Structure 1
């Protein structure tokens, strides 16, 4: 190598090192300035928040956040020591049919319905079951008021000829076979059909030996005429076409109902009832709709295919996925909707997702809660979160989720309080 070339290379390397050093310094300085600016902004926001709070004023920063907290009063309302001591599959509706936050008062009546209900007696000193217990596949309850109160809720089930408690609703359709039973889906009060209360019911059969020893084999519709009371002797039951399996997987409708009607208090009513379904292993969310005055006419139902509404339920487009088999979609005051569900049915994450319309598009889901009960016992799991808009306060969603155990027969004795819904409130 010639000396001239060596000098040139040496100078070039020196220049390169110099400029890299300068660039590194500038980058560090820029990063430092950015960090200082962010910290200053955070400090300013914190000071603003503290000043606003101290002055009793409006805090635009805290008001814009999603805030989630447990609501022990609602959870404790469903905690009892004798008789009805627990259940899952919780749904409810106000008996005036208005399905929006802030509409209850001290005289309002709400009907709950549950699946897999436990009757028994709990030894409150030992915190264990005392004596025999019994499971029913479903029951109902009536609650009066606008604030949770265990003295204002009454539970109901039927009894057989010997006085033994039995489920409130048992299958009586053409498709039902001996030994089948109902778990209950969502429902609503339909003002356009003489205030009939409709409840979707999943037809279930047992499969011994499986980790989940049961399977759903159909969807029925229960119609309770206006003013009906237990034991609902005048109820009607219908088989529906809302359950099928094709190349995309098993599809089940009835997991969620959204009445977009004036009677339900919808902000921008269009006269349709939107009924949601779940499809396949990916837990895809689907939607159908029907005019409220044609709810029992399944030829009037239309299914969203991503572009429009048509009669082919097999062409349904997925609105989102990884939902839970029970969930909710409810209106926000501005006419948009908000979905609430448990991620992948039984993960520990409770999430919400905003949608532009009842048929989407939906934003990506946001996690708002991690269910702590899952960590109370190795076998505990939580599932099927959903909102109850009629029980919620304005600007909030009251959300329930279920607690259960993979070692059910042992844990129902050792931890009898665990099998009941828990509640959280999400301010948005």
Structure 2
């Protein structure tokens, strides 16, 4: 059973939160024999048109694992790999042979350069995967002696997934935005999200380009310039002032856009923002999860959403675990992704079941334009004013229930004419916590969460 928490401080409103929890099924499926893959990072996924999912990984260990989680001798490491999932069946994909494996996405010079995958999509009979190109560089930090060398698109035949060739993302040479964090196909346009680092502090911020659906391959993109869309890639500007990790995601839910990122500098904190449009403005910053693995030399990074696996109002999120390289051979769990379930209701009040659009209790006039149920203030202390509309005369029942569904307050209103109504409810006798207001009329039932706090 999920646990429900309230968290907050004296300086901010309390936020409702159903606890995020590990997804045991997903964690287990990457801990069984799937044809060679035993550990990796990155953990992108592309939902293919035929219902399969292609998982994409960065540096990958191939081999076998002992019962004590140590890696058997003879394991090999490649720079990128893939796992194809069909139902609950998973199979490892890589180049070369099982005895002499090579990268799933090869470069022309594999001895000195390599690709780490990003997101992608299928257009016509071709799978296009955005990739970041890297080369070795002496930076004086073990495990981080590499530097960025380009931004390409790798092409594969579809549905056979055979490598064809790779070529540059032309806009990257102009604006230095690394494209491919997320490729979001919307109703008319496909949005290609990327990141560009502040040259002074090396802090990445999100950018976005767009193309008409089905035309990403042409690279005749438009770029968000702060007020609209321009064909000039040099005019691209950041879409958010909050820094993003080297892997972040943008997805949609109930008509809103969700940006999810792990905080930078290997922070254990996973945040989300929501927006009404693919470019923002981004608000509702939420701390969704703090990874428990972070300790000593172990760190986590690059959380990512996999919307094709939404379930029961919850999103599937992965994050990567890493640490001392040689310790991984003794414990492969130090380099395996983790999967968690996060309820969408933790991200935005608009995602609460049957809630009115947006966060209730915003400052300003609480009058609902469409006569939907609203509450002011919310969060509340002793009293709350409910506003709603009815479309025909009759009796309206107003109830306040707790999270177990137990009725705590009820009243009835006789309405002789349709229109807007306002009711003030006395909540002094109720303990701080989460409640639900239910307004039932001939037109149906409206439900809105109420948060009672002890703060004034």
After TM superposition, the score normalised by the length of structure 1 is 0.70
Q: How does 1:206-245 map to 2 (within 5 A)?
A: 206-208=136-138, 210-211=140-141, 212-229=144-161, 232-233=162-163, 235-244=164-173
Largest Rg, 1 or 2: 1
State the alpha-carbon separation in 2 of the partners of residues 374 and 394 from structure 1: 29
Q: 331, 340, 344: which is aligned to 1:415?
A: 331
Q: How does 1:24-423 map to 2 (within 5 A)?
A: 65=17, 67-80=19-32, 83-96=36-49, 108-125=51-68, 127-145=69-87, 149=88, 152-159=89-96, 163-172=99-108, 179-190=112-123, 194-208=124-138, 210-211=140-141, 212-229=144-161, 232-233=162-163, 235-244=164-173, 251-260=177-186, 269-280=187-198, 281-298=202-219, 300-320=220-240, 321-333=242-254, 335-344=255-264, 346-375=266-295, 378-405=296-323, 407-408=324-325, 410-423=326-339
**CA-CA distance at 1:275 after TM superposition:** 3.0
The CA deviation string for residues 335-361 of structure 1, in whole angstroms up to 9 with x for no partner, is 211111111162110111111111111
State the alpha-carbon separation in 1 of the partners of residues 268 and 110 from structure 2: 35
Contact 2:45/2:55 (8 A) holds in 1: yes
3-state SS in 1 of match to 2:62? strand
- Structure 1 unaligned spans of 5+: 1-44, 47-62, 98-107, 261-268
State the alpha-carbon separation in 1 of the partners of residues 96 and 247 from structure 2: 28
Alignment CA distance shift 1:88-1:213 (3 Å): same
Contact 1:255/1:278 (8 A) holds in 2: no
The CA deviation string for residues 190-240 of structure 1, in whole angstroms up to 9 with x for no partner, is 3xxx142211011110124532111121011012233223xx15x232112
The CA deviation string for residues 398-426 of structure 1, in whole angstroms up to 9 with x for no partner, is 10000011x21x21122222211101111
Contact 1:87/1:115 (8 A) holds in 2: yes
State the alpha-carbon separation in 1 of the partners of residues 312 and 188 from structure 2: 22
**CA-CA distance at 1:68 after TM superposition:** 1.6
The CA deviation string for residues 109-137 of structure 1, in whole angstroms up to 9 with x for no partner, is 22211111101332214x32232322111
Contact 1:88/1:420 (8 A) holds in 2: yes
After TM superposition, the score normalised by the length of structure 2 is 0.66
The CA deviation string for residues 38-57 of structure 1, in whole angstroms up to 9 with x for no partner, is xxxxxxx99xxxxxxxxxxx
The CA deviation string for residues 66-101 of structure 1, in whole angstroms up to 9 with x for no partner, is 54222122122112478321011111122227xxxx
**CA-CA distance at 1:391 after TM superposition:** 1.6
State the alpha-carbon separation in 2 of the partners of residues 313 and 163 from structure 1: 44
**CA-CA distance at 1:394 after TM superposition:** 4.8
Contact 1:286/1:316 (8 A) holds in 2: yes
Contact 1:115/1:184 (8 A) holds in 2: yes
Which of the pair is proportionally richer in helix? 1
State the alpha-carbon separation in 2 of the partners of residues 112 and 164 from structure 1: 21
Contact 2:52/2:85 (8 A) holds in 1: yes
3-state SS in 1 of match to 2:188? coil
Where relative contact order (Cα < 8 A, 6+ residues apart) is larger, the structure is 1
The CA deviation string for residues 227-270 of structure 1, in whole angstroms up to 9 with x for no partner, is 223xx15x232112243587xxx53111111111xxxxxxxx12
Alignment CA distance shift 1:242-1:372 (3 Å): farther
State the alpha-carbon separation in 2 of the partners of residues 222 and 111 from structure 1: 14
The CA deviation string for residues 284-330 of structure 1, in whole angstroms up to 9 with x for no partner, is 111111112321222x2111111011123232222222211111101
State the alpha-carbon separation in 2 of the partners of residues 114 and 367 from structure 1: 26
3-state SS in 2 of match to 1:296? helix
3-state SS in 2 of match to 1:123? coil
State the alpha-carbon separation in 2 of the partners of residues 185 and 270 from structure 1: 23
- The aligned length equals 326
